[in-house]
């Protein structure tokens, strides 16, 4: 899995990098066919009082790209909410990809029994 963590208007500290890695671990535990992950952390300075922190993830899995973004006043809270959204989308994708069709009982070969 290729992982890219970049910051826009902020420096990515080792603590921030470690936090993102631990949160991503939950997502990759649910779905192991992740090819590429790109994380972008941004600080938007609207005015002095309201600084908005934004986190974005583009997750490339086999057959599809999943993009999620989340904004919050606190960057760690934005990452938490982002990973929750990403986890839901990955689980939904995994559910669609899995083959839920079972062979009907009348189609089974009865000579083996």
- Residue 112 clears pLDDT 60, i.e. is over it: no
Give the pTM: 0.79
Phi/psi region, residue 63 (left: phi>0; alpha: psi -120 to 50; beta: rest), is left
Assigned fold of 2-97: Double Stranded RNA Binding Domain (3.30.160)
Encode pLDDT of 36-82 as tens digits.
Answer: 999 999 998 776 556 689 999 999 988 889 999 999 989 999 999 99
Other Cβ atoms less than 10 A from the Cβ of 62: the count is 10
So where are the chain's domains? 2-97
Lowest mean pLDDT across 10-24, 28-42, 44-58: 44-58
Instruction: Give the residue among 22, 26, 38 at the shortest CA–CA distance from 90.
Output: 26
């Amino acid at each position: 899995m290729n992982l890219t963590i970049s910051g826009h208007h902020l420096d990515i500290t080792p603590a921030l990098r470690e936090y993102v890695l631990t949160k991503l671990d939950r997502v990759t535990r649910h779905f192991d066919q992740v090819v590429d992950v790109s994380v972008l952390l941004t600080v938007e300075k609207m005015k002095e009082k309201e600084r908005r922190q934004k986190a974005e993830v583009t997750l490339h899995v086999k057959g599809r790209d999943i993009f999620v973004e989340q904004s919050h006043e606190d960057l760690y809270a934005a990452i938490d909410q982002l990973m929750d959204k990403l986890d839901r989308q990955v689980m939904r994708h995994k559910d669609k990809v899995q083959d839920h069709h079972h062979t009907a009982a009348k189609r089974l070969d009865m000579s083996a029994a």
